[in-house]
Structure 1
Amino acid sequence: MDGADSPRTPLLSVIQDSLLPKSVSIALKCLLVGINIASITIGVIYINDCPGQYLIPYYLIISGVACLLYLSMTCLPCIDEDQVTSVNLANLCAQGVMLLFLFAFFIAGNVWIYSLTHEPWDNPSSLKRCNRVLYLYAFWTITLCHLCFLVLLCTYLCLLLGLYILKWSIFGGSRN
């Protein structure tokens, strides 16, 4: 189906092809669904237990819902196995808008979570107190996100270095 009737365009084919095996992709999505459901649950349970930064429970709830919505959008192309699956432009635009929102909200969450200092948890007179479970969950999930981004960045840079070394060895250092 490489003719004019093909639902896959050259520009979108790179985006449509999965980089990971299907089983790994499903396992990662299931893990992310569990983490986001836990975020929503903890945010709802402790919604009024963080006077030091009252936006932290809202951050967990909204980011959890937005991530679940984004994950559901990534599953849309593979719903029907009988037909040739193709990602339509509207879905890609919606995913892009959702990623921009999640990125901006991630930055806001960093400000809200890291601005709260480690006060004694059980000091009711402190204005900067926050429920221990709520704060530690938010702190460690956002810190793990930073670590994942760092691993991805290092992997990307190592791949670029490997490609540069490969190019240099093949072309013998010439500038072709």
Structure 2
Amino acid sequence: MEDGDDNPRNPLLSVVQESFLPKTVSIALKCILVGINISSIVIGVIYFNDCPGQPLIPYYLIVSGGASLLYLFMTCLPCIDSDRVTTINLANLCAQGLMILFLFAFFIVGNVWVYSLYNEPWNDPRSPSRCQRVLYLYAFWMITLCHLCFLVLLSTYLCLLLCLLILKKSIIGGRLS
């Protein structure tokens, strides 16, 4: 087998390595995400002790921002083989998978922490469940925007699946006629 051929022992690695986005779009999205995650860390650090109603919200912003930056770094960290061809090794792919699982679990925990103050008077300075306005609203809207992005992705995938099913049925129906 030549060096340029796909590895038959790892057929999924060759599929994962191919990006479905143009490189410029991928770089632009990663830069935007880096900015969002750095701002999460900064807001969490600035308002670290300003949320006695739920003191774990700054921790959520700092840890999720740092873990997301680490994940973005891992996606930009290719391994180079002898032919100077950029590839992803299995260890990096497994580390990315574990990081995604951690971020998903921590996202659920962050939902509980942030939305637990939603019905409370978090904006009242005399309330024991108060939280600094910028800190709370930033965390609330970041989590809400994540939910909206997940919803858009899910509905897009479901629409594509429906279109493919309709197309398959029309092709099969055309052959039977």
Matched residue, 2:51: 50
Displacement of 1:4 after TM fit?
6.5
Displacement of 1:83 after TM fit?
1.3
Matched residue, 2:16: 15
Superposed CA RMSD in Å reads: 2.2
Displaced runs of 4 or more, over 6 A: none
Matched residue, 1:128: 129
**Contact map agreement 1:44 1:61 (CA 8 A) in 2:** yes
Stretches of structure 2 lacking an aligned partner (at least 5 in a row): none
Stretches of structure 1 lacking an aligned partner (at least 5 in a row): none
Number of residue pairs matched by the alignment: 172
Displacement of 1:13 after TM fit?
1.2
How do 1:52-131 and structure 2 match up within 5 A?
52-77=53-78, 83-117=84-118, 118-119=120-121, 121=123, 123-131=124-132
Provide Cα deviations, 1:60-80, integer angstroms capped at 9, x if missing partner.
000000000000000012889
Distance in 2 between residues matched to 1:171 and 1:128, nearest whole Å: 61
Matched residue, 1:3: 2
Distance in 1 between residues matched to 2:157 and 2:174, nearest whole Å: 22
Displacement of 1:3 after TM fit?
3.5
Provide Cα deviations, 1:154-176, integer angstroms capped at 9, x if missing partner.
0100110011011001111889x
**Contact map agreement 1:7 1:86 (CA 8 A) in 2:** no
Q: 1:79 to 1:48 in 2, by over 3 A?
A: farther
Identity %: 73
Once the two structures are overlaid, the 10-residue window that deviates more, 40-49 or 111-120, is 111-120
